[in-house]
Chain A
Amino acid sequence: MAMKYLVSLGHYVPELLACLTMFGLILVEAAQEKGAKSKPLVGATAFLGLIATFVILCLNLSKPGVSIFTNSIVIDSFGTFIKIIMVLGTLGAIYIANQSNDIYQGLKSEFSIMAVGVLVGGMLLTSANNMLLLYIGLETLSILSYVMASLKKNDERSGEAGLKYSLYGGISAGIMLFGMSHIFGVLGTINFSEMAPLLAEISGDKALILIPSFLLFFVGLGYKIACVPFHMWSPDVYEGSPLPVTTFFSIVPKLAGMAVIARLTMVLFNNSGIVSVSWLGALSVIAALTMTIGNISAIGQRSVKRMLAYSSIGHAGVMLLGIVVVSEIGLRSLLFYGFTYLFMTLVAFYIVSFVNDKYGNDHFERFSGLINKHPIMAISMIIVMFSLAGIPPLSGFVAKFNIFSAVIAKKYYVLALVAGINSVISLYYYMKIVRLMVFKTSESDELIGGLTLRNQIIIGALTVPVVTLGIFWEKVIGVVTSATLMIQ
């Protein structure tokens, strides 16, 4: 028995490494002189730990799926790929946090510690194979997120964000537990792979209980990925939180939520039972609503950060489409979407972070005439905005094309059309920034400080994949095609 657990641990190295990084960070932070201006050791520890995790995850990518710890956790290449994206997202967010003034100098190391903590929760969530572990992962991820949202202690809005986030989070977690207990009551198991065969044959009264229970279960997850109608918290939280935290929120918790919904759908609802039909029907309606409402709300925003928050709701809707189709190709397109979305989000938020530091806010007007002052930054922003809207030959287009093909392969033409029209809507508000940067003249000739050559190179380097993944995406598609979700 002990041997079996040791073997299980062998598959669990990335998670353990991430945990170790978090503890290491706490120790290193404590060892630093109190009130020290900068804590380079903390940053170095975080980077080393995360890069080690990343390397091991990459090595694991080609391994076949296994279920470990008495079948409560599944390690497969689908989950590993999502974890890779999350680790990269965490790395990027920590880097932005170290640059940004939005995180107080004394709290930068706290940010790193909590970000890695959220990452651990997200990794657990991604590979959970029973409801209890799913819940633990979700809470690990959430509780730390609440603190992160209110990291800007002296700012009212940041406090409000934290409170809102935790209230919403608490309520939806409660609703989710309520749903879970019903599911356990009817099916007698909390393990997903044991639930799957039972679910396929269920009908009658049991189905009548199970359908609403699963919808209640979905509330907790839907809240995490901020899909309509559980999205109300997200714009306020995204706007109130410090900018690096927003960056982090729009990548890591979102992808973890997507991964768990994808796993649930693939494992439990890959059949034609009545429960599956209801779940998929609900999911497709939610996806269409999420896209539409997210994008329409983004149009009227004044703050770029808030606009990006709404647009990330829109993107969540598109990613859901990759799940609704319940197919390998859908998952593949979801992974590709997540991968490209990572780079686009990082560049966009990184640039907004500089503008925000300079002017104290990130209203649209602050971007006026940026192309004359900082051409590299402005051109990167243009590329990212067009890519987010899905203009070829940029990676955002390829990501959308993949989702489209997954949806149309199932002959869901209406969903494809809704997604397409949403692209047009999103183009309108993304174009607003491009218009301001290029067509308008700036308010003052003052340059944005802190935009050193190194930072410009990093912005440029992060933009390179946004372009190249749009033209030479064969290799990445090859990698994500081999990433499969294990179904027992």
Chain B
Amino acid sequence: MHGSSHLLNWILWMPFIGVLGNLLIPGSKKNAIRYWSLINTAITFILTLVLYKNFDTSVAGMQEAYNFSIPWIKQFNIFYTVGVDGISLPMIILTGLLFFLCILSSWTVEKSVKGYFSLFLFLQASVFGVFLSLDFFLFYVFWEVMLIPMFFLIGIWGGENKEYAAVKFFLYTFFGSILMLVGMVALYYAKGKGVDAFNILALSGGQFTDLKLSMFGSEFSFDKLFFVFMFIGFAIKVPVFPFHTWLPHAHVQAPTAVSVILAGVLLKMGTYGFLRIAYPIFPSASVYFADAIAWLGLVNVIYGAFCAMAQTDVKKLVAYSSVSHMGFVMLGLAAMTTQGMNGAVLQMFNHGTSTAMMFLLIGILYERSHHRYIVRPDGSKGFGGLYTQLPKFSIVFIIAMFASMGLPGLSGFISEALIFLGIYERYTTITVLALIGLLLGAAYLLWMFKRMFFGDVIEECKSYTDMNAREIAYMLPLCVAVIVFGIYPAPILNMMKASVGSLVKLLGTY
């Protein structure tokens, strides 16, 4: 099934070309490295837009024109297969956009520039790999490869407790992946080792529903057992409640751009895994466990919000708000209705843009203040009166905050509304409780805003300068995205409609 276009290959391998280029430029030429990386990500982003332009929104499955498959390891029937559908396309565009903007925001990185930008582009390639792979083995390889650049990016360029954060992140995710690996190989044998035994699409459709396996003398349902394995693998990445403890550390210690990518793109890989692998391959088990997923999502929403409220470090606050917002995605996924799923995918995109804004803004602030305390450990104010001191910064911050809060007219509202519409009929109690989470979200964000931006300008803040042209340049596209998709979300909804619809239809039969 050779497609007519190599566009996906170009998107996937373009960042690798960037890495190779970076390695050829001598390390002392820092600006050359920065501009090369910027041009490289810009080209990649344009390629993703070309993909969007040529995308046929009426097709539910993979886009025929972009399917590309060549054999990799014949003995195991492993293929290099890439493809794109309505669920992965928003993620691909988001990845292209955020990495491009993050290169701009990383302009001020001075510590071994060559290593930083090379690892960053390497990370981009592996993220694209995850979103584009249709071969389970290939997917797994990219899923794991991504850990290596992340480990070094957090560990070398991070804050004071960076090592702990990097190690915890690595170990946690690796643990989840191992469960996934066992599930993957089990699927390979259950499918009979044939040419399509690693093909995600061929595995989909619920063919393992009635399969049983016996262990220790008792019988287990194949799909339920391995759904749980996959679930833990993906849930660690999302992160779903009991597996979330790596996230605050990783976020707080990571450099700004890496936090943006972590919250904006990497967390979505977890929920993308549900949509691409766990749900389609084990639909009956997904329906069976829907209640549990919904409750876990609710815990995420409420618990994340309460944790966020207690934070004195503004970056940690945003990190916990991510936990809370990813809870909404989980709720949408548990709904298994058209609105709910659409809302979940839309929320994945919208959370990507709004959280990216928050992290970028905190990064901008940190470059001026070199601390992130809302309240210092000794009880004094860390920031005060930023609104009068930094007007442009404050306006962008307000947009980001309201978008993340879900104010009507901005992007977060539509996706959350869709999720609530989708889930209401099935889980009324959970819906009502989750609404409290929404309220809490408004509370911690506004409270944080009040403490940092209002009141008298404290002495320290008087030396801060407002955003410069470069900073405005990378904030502007995100502001536009948040506002435009808040008023007119149709472009993204149209993109995914057909694909999400077919998934909901599949789940509906169980």
Q: Which residues of B contact A404 (CB under 8 A)?
A: 181-182, 185
Contact B182 A438 (CB under 8 A): no
Q: Is the interface of A mostly helix, strand, loop or mixed?
A: helix
A435 CA to B141 CA, complexed, in Å: 22
User: Are B73 and A473 within 8 A (Cβ)?
Assistant: yes
Smallest CB separation, A389 vs chain B (Å): 8
Are B171 and A477 neighbours in the complex by a CB distance under 8 Å? no
Q: Flag whether B447 is at the interface (Cβ < 8 A).
A: no
A interface residues, how many (CB within 8 angstroms): 30
Nearest Cβ on chain B to A328's Cβ, whole angstroms: 12
Nearest neighbor of B143 in chain A, beta-carbon distance: A392
B144 at the interface (CB under 8 A from A): yes
Q: In the bound complex, do residue B74 and residue A474 qualify as a contact, i.e. CB atoms below 8 Å apart?
A: yes
A residues near B147, Cβ cutoff 8 Å: 391
Residue numbers in A under 8 Å from B152 (CB-CB): 438
CB nearest neighbor in A for B187: A408
Contact residues, B294-320 vs A (CB, 8 A): none
Chain B residues, CB < 8 A from A473: 73
The distance in angstroms between the C-alpha atoms of A455 and B144, with both chains bound, is 31
A424–B147 Cα distance when bound, in Å, is 13
Q: Is B174 in contact with A424, judged by CB distance below 8 angstroms? A: yes
Closest chain B CB from A432 CB (angstroms): 9
Within 8 A of B (CB), among A212-227: none
As a 0/1 sequence over residues 121 to 159 of chain B, the CB contacts with chain A under 8 angstroms (1 = contact) are 000000000000000000011001101100110011000
Among the listed stretches B90-98, B162-170, B436-444, which one makes contact with chain A, having 4 or more residues with CB under 8 Å of it?
B162-170
- CB neighbours of B288 from chain A (8 A): none
Closest Cβ of chain B to A274, distance in Å, is: 19
Pick the residue among B144, B163, B171 that contacts A439 (CB under 8 A): B163
Interface: B43 (CB within 8 A): no
How far apart are the CA atoms of A414 and B178 in the complex, in Å?
A: 13
CB distance from B343 to the nearest CB of A (A): 34
Contact of A391 among B74, B148, B155 (CB under 8 A): B148
Asked if residues A424 and B175 are in contact (CB atoms below 8 Å), the reply is yes
CB-CB under 8 A from A474, the residues of chain B are 72-75
Asked if B188 and A417 make an inter-chain contact with CB atoms under 8 angstroms apart, the answer reads no
Q: Which of B141, B167, B182, B185 contacts A431 (CB 8 A)?
A: B167
Q: Does A427 contact B (CB under 8 A)?
A: yes
> In the bound complex, what is the Cα–Cα distance between A391 and B174 (angstroms)?
9
Q: Do A427 and B174 have beta carbons less than 8 Å apart?
A: yes
A421 to B181 CA separation, bound complex (whole angstroms): 11
Q: Hey, what's the 0/1 contact readout for A464-488 against B, CB within 8 Å counting as 1?
A: 0000000001100110010000000
B213 contacts across to A, CB distance below 8 A: 411, 413
Chain A residues with Cβ below 8 Å from B189 are: 405, 408-409
Instruction: Tell me whether B76 is interfacial, beta carbon within 8 Å.
Output: yes
Complex partner residue of A392 from B141, B151, B156, B170, CB under 8 angstroms? B141
Contact partner of A423 (CB less than 8 A), chosen from B75, B178, B188, is B178
Per CB-CB distance, the 5 closest pairs between chain A and chain B, nearest first, are A420-B178, A392-B141, A408-B185, A392-B144, A424-B175
Known: A405-B188, A424-B174, A473-B73. 18 other contacts (CB 8 A): A386-B148, A391-B174, A393-B141, A404-B181, A408-B186, A409-B189, A413-B186, A414-B215, A416-B185, A420-B181, A420-B182, A423-B178, A435-B163, A438-B155, A439-B162, A439-B163, A474-B74, A477-B75
23 contacts between A and B (CB under 8 A): A386-B148, A391-B148, A392-B140, A392-B141, A392-B144, A405-B185, A408-B186, A408-B188, A413-B182, A414-B215, A416-B185, A417-B179, A421-B175, A423-B174, A423-B178, A424-B178, A427-B171, A427-B174, A439-B155, A439-B156, A473-B73, A477-B75, A478-B75
Q: Which residues of B contact A (CB under 8 A)?
A: 72-76, 140-141, 144-145, 147-148, 151-152, 155-156, 162-163, 166-167, 170-171, 174-175, 178-179, 181-182, 185-186, 188-189, 213, 215
